[in-house]
Structure 1
Amino acid sequence: MRERFDLAASQQGFELDAEQQRVADKLAELGTALPKRFRRPSGVYLHGAVGRGKSFLMNAFFAGAPVPGKLRVHFHDFFNQLHRTIAQHRSSANAVDAAFAELLGGLQLLCFDEFHVHDPGDARLVIKLLHAVHTRRIALVATSNYRPADLLPNPLFHELFRPAIEFIEAHWDVVELPDGPDYRRTGRRSGSGFASGTWSRSPPAGFESPTAAERTALPVNGRTLRASAVRDGLVWFDFEDLCATATSAQDYLAVAERFSTWVITGVPQLTDRDAETQQRFANLVDVLCDKDATLHVVAEHDIARTLTEGRDTDRTASRLALLEST
């Protein structure tokens, strides 16, 4: 299985660096052990700096993993599905366990991209999820920008998540991909999907600013979001309507299922905003990058100045570096 990683890198025009090779070796060992029925390994928690190729390595591993029951999903997306499934089973005696049975049934391998926890409300649910995965003997591979000990970093709630941290460290191999080049910043832009988007002070050529008549109440998850315009596969939002109000990653996921092109105007310097607003913007970028939606941002400042000292700045800046700044 090890050669699959080198082949995948070659197909994308690069070679694995020494640290990436070390991680590939570890994942290849896991892949070899996966088919073993009675001694299936628990998995790997892969963490490290942004843009180092964690998602690439996990995706290469997932593609070659020799088991039929496998799922690769962004952590935001999985939690969106989990909340929806719990709601569908709300009449059950234990809706959470019923949701786990539905989502995890038949799996031998579960791959989470961008595993992170900021919401204290989700902390106990994540703990239950990790126990459910382990009890079902599902191998887990997760990528994260956080060491296990740094998950749910808010000091007011961090102790809530300590049981999960200890569980991860006890049952999964914790592997670090050390600091090195951010390949999103140094690589070539693909010119498609998320990487075909722009960051500028005015709407990109060919995009007419919305008129007042185009303002739309967009139904999302049982309520409405105010969109500046909806045009076929394009949705246009003002930052204040999308990130400065009580929206969630689940809302962004629902809208991303309907629209492949987004325009966000009026993005301010985020250090002027509260932590919740900063986190919503980071979540939005995460969702759109994972869904490979085209994003055009109209901002007051360049990316670096917009994100200075913001939450999850490194991860967000790395993704936004894929956009063409004009």
Structure 2
Amino acid sequence: MFMAKLIRHCTEHEIQLFTTSNYGPENLLDDDTFHHLVQPTIDRIQRDFIVFSLDHSVDYRQLESDPGLVPDGYRKGSLNLFETPDDMPVHDTMVEIGYDEIGPVHLRADEIWISFDQICRTRRNTADYLELASRYSCWHITSIPASSTLPMDEERRLANLIDIFYDKNVEVHLYAADNLGDLGHMLHDTERARLTSRLAQLQLNEYERTCVSR
């Protein structure tokens, strides 16, 4: 929506404009409630601009890395095929975020244990996630339900979290009912491909493991 005035101004004044997007014009602001608001801009882009798709079949994250390289940050994380470990600590602390609080969680130094319900089924936004990711460098997210059952809002929150953890190189351990193979089933292909690629960087564990507190 912020781009709408710029695109209109550029086309009306014959100003050449180059811009990039993660989505094709028809997929902009795809929420059914708001999509009609951006439809005139989509029509203008498709009428007055040339759209190039810059895509490639190679996932560079999957290429073989240096065997001597010790994983750190995000790549130290894991995807565990069980929703809660036997030795899960007691959740007894509330965390303030903005004018709200979230919890109860378990805190230990720069490590946080938090449930999926608390982080993805509450009214959290990207700003909240960025703030929380800057506070804790090791995360455990427990009780993640089967990925095929997640509604779009919960799915998108979890996808946003994983994007932030990856970009900020934050260690994260996910405890899930499945391997999250259906995560992203309601997202755009671009988002889903990025999400699948980033999840593949996590160690897959079928049995319980304990993260050693730093």
Is the TM value for this pair above 0.5?
Answer: yes
Matched, 1:196 2:76: yes
Query: Hey, what's the Cα distance between the residues in 1 that align with 2:18 and 2:111?
Result: 36
Deviations 1:160-192 (A, max 9, x none): 123444566689874422341222234438612
Residues in 2 aligned to 1:147 and 1:197: alpha-carbon distance in whole angstroms: 32
Residue 192 of structure 2 aligns with an amino acid whose one-letter code is: T
Partner of 1:322: 201
TM-score (norm 1): 0.51
Q: How far 1:224 sits from its partner (Å)?
A: 0.7
Aligned residue for 2:53, secondary structure, equals strand
The amino acid of 1:185's aligned partner reads Q
* Distance (whole Å) between structure 2 residues aligned to residue 171 and residue 230 of structure 1: 53
1:303 is paired with a residue whose SS is: coil
Give the fraction of aligned pairs with identical amino acids, expressed as a percent: 27
Query: For residues 253 and 308 of structure 1, do their structure 2 counterparts lie closer, same or farther at Cα, with a shift above 3 Å needed?
Result: closer
Structure 1 residues 232, 125: CA separation in 2 closer, same or farther (over 3 Å shift)? farther
More helix by share: 1
SS in 2 for 1:154: coil
Match for 1:317: what amino acid? T
1:284 Cα deviation after fit: 1.2
For 2:31 and 2:197, the matched residues in 1 are separated by 23
What is aligned with 2:12? none
- Offset of 1:140 from its aligned partner? 7.0
**Alignment: residue pair count:** 196
Paired residues of 1:151 and 1:158 also in contact (CA < 8 A): yes
CA contact (8 A) 1:148 1:168 kept: yes
Give the match for residue 62 of structure 1. Answer: none
Q: Secondary structure at the match of 1:307?
A: coil
CA distance in 1: counterparts of 2:124 and 2:6, whole angstroms: 24
Partner of 1:280: 157
| Unmatched 5+ stretches in structure 1 | 1-123
CA distance in 1, matches of 2:48, 2:98: 36
Answer whether contact 2:84 2:142 (CA < 8 A) is retained.
Answer: no
Residue 243 of structure 1 and its aligned partner are, at CA, apart by 0.6
* 1:267–1:297 CA contact under 8 A, matched in 2: yes
Residues 154 and 233 of structure 1: CA distance in aligned 2, closer, same or farther (over 3 Å): same
With over 3 angstroms needed to count, the CA separation of the structure-2 counterparts of 1:128 and 1:287, relative to structure 1, is farther
Secondary structure of the residue aligned to 2:30 is coil
Q: Which runs of 5+ in 2 are unaligned?
A: 10-14, 206-214
Q: 1:296 aligns with which of 161, 168, 173?
A: 173
| Counterpart among 219, 229, 232 of residue 96 in structure 2 | 219
Distance 2:64 2:54 in 1: 18
User: TM-score, normalized by length of structure 2?
Assistant: 0.74
Q: For 1:1-326, what aligned pairs fall within 5 Å after superposition?
A: 124-125=1-2, 127=4, 142-144=20-22, 146-165=23-42, 174-188=51-65, 191-201=71-81, 209-212=88-91, 215-304=92-181, 306-307=182-183, 309-311=185-187, 312-326=191-205
Structure 1 pair 278/186, CA: closer, same or farther in 2 (3 Å)? same
**Higher relative contact order structure (alpha carbons within 8 Å, sequence separation ≥ 6):** 2
Amino acid at match of 2:74: F
- Aligned to 1:292, what secondary structure does the other structure show? coil
Q: Is the 8 A contact 1:270 1:310 kept in 2?
A: no
